[in-house]
Amino acid sequence: MRTHPVGHALVVLGLVGAVAAPVVGATAAPSVAASVYLYDVTVAAGGAAKAEELYVDTAGAPVTLNRATVTYDYRDAAAVVRLAAAADPADEDRWESCTAAPGRLTCRLPAGWTLRGEGDALPEVRVAAADGAALHAAGQVTTTLADPAIGTTAVTSRVRVGERADLRAAADPPLSAEVDGGFTRSLGVTNAGRRPVEGVVAVFEGTHHVVDADTDYGNCHYADGVLRYCYFAGPLAPGRTYRTSLPMHVAARAYAPGVQASTVTWLTRAEAEDAIDADSVGEPGDGAPLLLRLDRRAARVAPPAADHADGDRAPNTATAEIDVTGVNGTDVAVSGSTVHARPGDTVDLRVGYAVAGPAALEAPEGLRAVTAVDVTLPLGVTVVEDPDGCSEVGERTWRCYASARYLAVGAGEECAFTVKVNRIVDDGAGEVALVTDDPAVQHRSDDRSENDTAALRVLR
C-alpha cells in the first residue's frame, strides 16, 4: 500500500538500505521471503517525537498480508525512548490497532495490506525521548513483523538521546538553466538553537536531470558519479548562518520548457550516522573540500561533546526549483493490441506507451503523472476488471495515468483491461490515444503525432 521509490543514486533519507542486518526466522512455510529494516534513531532530549517507518523488502515479489502484526520491543531502551502509534484518522494507510505495554508496542495491519516488493513502508510510529532520559543514553529496539505469507522477520536498531538542536536551511532564490547547461546553487544553514553544533552533514537529492557539475570534493561522497552528501566540521555557532556554493548541471535529457528540483537536507552528525547506510555511502572525492563559511564574523566557540538531534526536522530541508529553458520535447508512442475470441470468452486487451525521446519524462511535485492515455474499448465487450490508475471518463472510455514518476528514454508502461466478449462487431475497433491536454500531466506536447493513437481489436 505505502511505498517509497528510490531516486537516482541519491540518499533518500530513511529509505536506502538498512543500518542493522535483519534476523529472519519463519514460524510457518511462507510463500515469500521478506526482510525488514528500521533506521537507527537519535531523538532530542525535550524535543518533538520523530515519525519512523518500518520498511519491508520481498525482493520484488508482490504479496498480500492478511494477519500481519508488528512488535516494537524496546524494553532494553525503556529508560531511553518511548514509542507510540501515529494517530492520523485521515491517513488511509494506518494501523488497524495498536496495543502498548511497558517497553513494547504491538500493532496490527488491516487485512489485505499489499506489499509491492521493494521500498514498501508500513505505518508510522512516533519515537521520543523518555521522561528524564539522560543525555547520551542509548539502547536497542527489536522490531518483528509476522504474517503467514512471509513468516517472521526481525531487525534490531539503535536508539539514543542527543542534545537538542535547531538547524534551518536557507531559502533558495529563483533559478534557471538551459538544457545541458550549468548554474550555481547557493546553500545555507543556520544554527537557530541556543548551543553550538559540532558539525553538520548536507544530504542531496532531487529530480533525475539536475546533478552536481562533475565535482570531486574531498569531504563529499559520490555514487555513480553523483554527489550524495558532504560533511562539514564545526562548531556552528548559535544564531549564525553558514554558506557555500555548489556548481550544478541540467542534463541533456531534461524536458524543456520544464522544471527540475534540487533538495538539500541538513543533518547533525548523529542524525547522519542514523540515516546513511554504511553499505551505500559511495566513494569520497579526491579534490579540495567544499567549504562552509560563516557569512559574517563570529567568535570562536568550543565544540560540544554531546550527540545532537534536531527537535524539528521540517525546516532542515530546502528545495530549489530550476526553470529549465529552451525546447527539448519528446515523443511518446502508444500501443494497442488485437485478440481473437468468441462470444462468451474473457480476454485481456493490452495497452501501453513508451518514451522515444529525446527528452525523458519526470513528474514534478504537484502533477499527478508524466503522461496519460485514453482507452476506448471495442464495441461488443464488457469490462470485467480495469487496471490500477484508470478511471472511466465516458462511454466505453477510460483515462489511464502513468504510475511511474520517471520514464527514461526507451522506458514505458503496459497494462491490461480484462473484458468479456459479448459479440464480435465488424469495424467496432477501440482506440488508445495519447492525452496532451490534461493539466495533471507533464507531457503536454508530443513531437510526433503519427504514433499518438493505436487500435484495440477483437476479432474472430
Q: Residues 343-379: pLDDT tens digits?
A: 999 999 999 999 999 999 998 777 789 999 999 999 9
Question: What is the per-residue pLDDT across 221-271, written as a single tens digit (0 to 9) for each?
Answer: 999 889 999 999 989 999 899 999 999 999 999 999 999 999 999 999 999
The band of 17, judged by pLDDT with boundaries at 50, 70 and 90, is very low
Q: How many CA atoms within 13 Å lie on the side-chain side of 378?
A: 32
Same domain? For 217 and 261 the reply is yes
- Regarding predicted confidence, which is higher, 429 or 33? 429
Is 152 found in the same domain as 42? yes
Residue 448 clears pLDDT 50, i.e. is over it: yes
> Of the candidates 292, 327, 362, which is a domain's last residue?
327
- Express each pLDDT in 92-147 by its tens digit: 789 999 999 999 999 999 999 999 888 899 999 999 999 999 999 999 999 999 99
Is there a single domain that holds both residue 258 and residue 364?
no
Whole-number pLDDT of residue 307: 59
Give the percent of the chain with pLDDT over 90.
76
Structural domain containing residue 346: 330-459
Task: Tell me the mean pLDDT in the region 391-412.
Answer: 96
**Average confidence score pLDDT of the chain:** 88
- The mean pLDDT of 64-87, rounded to a whole number, is 95
Q: In terms of Cα–Cα distance, which of 264, 268, 273, 136 is closest to 195?
A: 268
> Tell me, what's the pLDDT at 298?
41
Do 199 and 144 fall into the same domain?
Answer: no
10 located within any domain: no
pLDDT at 368: 84
What pLDDT score was predicted for residue 195? 87
> What is the model's pLDDT at position 297?
53
Task: Based on the fold, state whether residues 175 and 279 are members of the same structural domain.
Answer: yes
Residue 332 has pLDDT above 70, yes or no: yes
pLDDT over 50 at 3, yes or no: no
Prediction pTM value: 0.81
Q: Is residue 3 part of a domain?
A: no
Domain contains 302: yes
Do 62 and 171 lie in one domain? The reply is no
Query: Is 433 among the domain residues?
Result: yes
| Contact of 303 with 200, CB cutoff 8 Å | no
Please state whether beta strands 430-435 and 372-376 pair in parallel, antiparallel, or not at all (unpaired): antiparallel
Question: How far is it, in rounded angstroms, from Cα 64 to Cα 419?
Answer: 25
Q: What value does the mean pLDDT take over residues 385-402?
A: 95
Comparing 318 with 297, which gets the higher pLDDT? 318
Question: How much is the pLDDT for 389?
Answer: 92
Say yes or no to pLDDT of 14 above 90.
no
Residues written for the chain:
460
Assess whether 297 and 356 both reside in one domain.
Answer: no
Rounded percentage of the chain residues whose pLDDT exceeds 70? 88
pLDDT at 456 over 90: yes
Q: 131 lies in a domain?
A: yes
Across 26-40, 85-99, 366-380, least confident range = 26-40
**Shared domain check, 371 and 317:** no
Instruction: Say which CATH number the domain at 192 has.
Output: 2.60.40.10
Q: Answer yes or no: do 337 and 273 share one domain.
A: no
- 448 CB neighbour count, 10 Å cutoff: 12
pLDDT computed for residue 163 by the predictor: 86
pLDDT exceeds cutoff 50 at 339: yes
pLDDT (0 to 100) of residue 20:
35
Q: What pLDDT is stored for residue 11 in this prediction? A: 35
* Same domain, yes or no: 364 and 442: yes
Report residue 306's pLDDT band, with 50, 70 and 90 as the boundaries.
Answer: low
Which of 327, 361, 380 corresponds to the end of one domain? 327
Where is 270: in which H helix or E strand?
helix 269-275
Q: Is the pLDDT of residue 76 over 50?
A: yes
Same domain, 290 and 374: no
My answer on whether 181 and 264 are in the same domain is: yes
Looking at the structure of the chain, the number of domains it has is 3
Does residue 349 lie within any of the structural domains? yes
Q: Is the pLDDT of residue 18 over 70?
A: no
Question: Are residues 33 and 24 in contact, defined by beta-carbon separation less than 8 angstroms?
Answer: yes
Is there a domain that residue 1 lies in? no
The answer to whether 248 and 210 have CB atoms below 8 angstroms apart is yes
Residue 185 within any structural domain of the chain: yes
Across 24-28, 227-231, 355-359, 396-400, least confident range: 24-28
Return d(Cα 413, Cα 406) in angstroms, integer: 11
Domain boundary among 269, 293, 327: 327
